[in-house]
Amino acid sequence: MTRRTPRSADLDPDLVLRAYAMGVFPMAEHRDEDSVFWVEPRQRAIMPLDGFHLSRSLRKTIASDRFRVTADTAFEQVIALCAESAPDRPDTWINPAIEKVFGELHRRGFAHSVETWDGDRLVGGLYGLALGRTFFGESMFSRTRDASKVAIAALVARLRVGEFELLDCQFMTDHLASLGAVEVPRETYLSMLSVALGEGAAGLASGVAGVSADFGALDALGVPPLPDAPALTSSPPVSGKVIVQLLTQTS
């Protein structure tokens, strides 16, 4: 079961940060709903960063650079596409209030996106929130086969380099389970979250995290980008071979 309490749709960014630090997150009943709910699942899905399941076919897809992978180059597009209806998902829980507050959190440096491109077309991606050494995955979308799987794989590689400790996936799905996600009871999750946030949780009242992992550490490594990649941002696309290497290396 899930515990829900209705709240105003006027979401304050600092309130949202404090809520995530307590293991609670906002959702709306549907895309056009004016209000939101604070949700705290009794069973929480997490993705162990050292337990990502990289299948042979997914490894081949990533290494072939079939998709160009970037981060934080198209945040607003990613969240808009996550909120958009699709054949297998006629409605979503991302209403305008959630979209707006995450846009502000992105501008503050807390919310991030990972994008997968087919040429110049954005075909998959995900977004979430980084606090301390925790990344809270919010939503993903895919318009081409394997596009969202590649985005998750790239996220896990990025979090490993950035020394994150916890990847929160909120609710379990067959898609996430096939990639290695597991469920833990709420009490176990809160204990893990407390460790991953560390002393940084104390500063959230002012919207400032303490000691944090580095979402941009992968870009700072100077790893080889894809050849002839369009100059979309100062952070170039990362080679699929680098992503595979980061996912398969042992600690």
Query: What are 217's two structure tokens?
Result: 């550490």
Q: Please report which confidence band the pLDDT of residue 229 belongs to, taking 50, 70 and 90 as the band edges.
A: low
User: Which of 15-19, 133-137, 195-199 is the least confident region?
Assistant: 195-199
> What is residue 66's DSSP assignment?
-
How far apart are the C-alpha atoms of 127 and 120, rounded to whole Å? 19
Is residue 165 scored above 80 in pLDDT? yes
Q: For residue 141, give the nearest of 175, 167, 108, 164 by alpha carbon.
A: 175
Torsion of CA 88, 94, 100, 106, to 10 degrees: -70
Residue spans of alpha helices (H) in 33-132: 56-63, 75-83, 96-107
Helix, strand, coil percentages, rounded to 5, for the chain: 35, 25, 40
163 close to 215: Cβ distance less than 8 angstroms: no
Give me the pLDDT at residue 205, please: 41
- Chain Cα centroid distance, residue 65: 21
* More reliable by pLDDT, 199 or 5: 199
pTM of the model: 0.88
Q: Number of folded domains in the chain?
A: 1
Question: Cβ neighbours of residue 154 under 8 Å, at least 6 residues apart?
Answer: 62, 69, 71, 114, 116, 238, 243
CA-to-CA distance for 126 and 128, rounded, in angstroms? 7
Between 106-110, 111-115, 195-199, the lowest mean confidence (pLDDT) is in 195-199
Q: What is the mean pLDDT of the chain?
A: 87
Instruction: Provide the CATH number for the domain around residue 22.
Output: 3.40.630.70
Give me the domain span that covers residue 202: 2-248
What tokens were used for 225? 């980008």
Q: Helical H runs in 85-214?
A: 96-107, 147-161, 174-178, 186-197
Q: In whole angstroms, what is the distance from residue 25 CA to residue 138 CA? A: 9
pLDDT at position 233 over 60:
no
Span 220-245, mean pLDDT?
69
Residue 199 predicted with pLDDT over 50: yes
**With helix as H, strand as E and coil as C, how does 13-54 read?**
HHHHHHHHHCCCEEECCCCCCCCEEEEEECEEEECCCCCCCC
Residues 156-163 have a mean pLDDT of 96
Question: Which range is least confidently modeled, 7-16, 155-164, 210-219?
Answer: 7-16
